[in-house]
Amino acid sequence: MVITLIGYRGTGKSTVGVQLAARLDWDFVDTDQEIEHTAGKSIAEIFAKDGESRFRDLERNELQRQLARENVIISAGGGAILDDQSRQRMSAAGPVVWLQASVETIVKRLQSDASTASSRPSLTDGGIFDEVSDVLLQREPLYAEAASLMISTNHRDIDSIVDEIITQLPADGVQC
């Protein structure tokens, strides 16, 4: 079984994923980090030099590769749900956990992350608050379609989020 974490950037997918994997004694993979490692450049550089469509191809291929594994927690890129096949593959591989946060929380987290500007491309021409609002509005129906669990990460510590995920996982697929 695979557990895939989805959600907008800054909702805690990587942070939660590392802790969840440790608790389950599973592997953890951040698909964005894998793409950057394979491509030898940041996602922002891929967007700038090769275009968003090339990045989405890399994202789809990396996600497909990781979904073929067993006992792995995958932090999928925020836009991985844009691809119909990726959404279907995630759901077929195991539980898909949508980590949610308010626009205000996401903006605060992104602004406090020093790597945001250099590694994460702007997705719109607006300011950060408008960008997060606009992109979330477009993606929320796709997150909802793919998700088997929805967990709020607003004003919560990592342990409580991981506890909630574990208690909602199917008992037949996870050994703690």
Task: Give kind and range of the element (H or E) at residue 163.
Answer: helix 158-168
Which tens digits make up the pLDDT trace of 56-89? 999 999 999 999 999 999 999 999 999 999 999 9
Global pTM reads: 0.90
Which tens digits make up the pLDDT trace of 125-162? 678 888 899 999 999 999 999 999 999 999 999 999 99
Distance (Å, whole) CA 82 – CA 15: 22
Which tens digits make up the pLDDT trace of 162-173? 999 999 998 765
CATH topology of domain 2-162: Rossmann fold (3.40.50)
Q: Where are the domains of the chain?
A: 2-162
Token duo for residue 19:
């802790």
